[in-house]
Structure 1
């Protein structure tokens, strides 16, 4: 049971990190797209 909880915690932490990275990439892409449209 303890092992399962540890796995779940690890997965949740990983998902949070991936979401954060995706958000950062999304913002970068949006900025890049705006620059492309302006030029």
Structure 2
């Protein structure tokens, strides 16, 4: 699971790595609490 920026939006992305590709399982906007955690890293 990662938190990433996508054109000024912070997204929570769940993915799996299957050589040689990365497969996105789901993506959604990060919650306020998740944004705070990301900004404090």
Of Structure 1 and Structure 2, which has the larger fraction of its residues in strand?
A: 2
Computing the radius of gyration from Cα coordinates, the structure with the larger value is 1
TM-score, structure 2 length as denominator? 0.27
Of Structure 1 and Structure 2, which has the larger fraction of its residues in helix?
A: 1
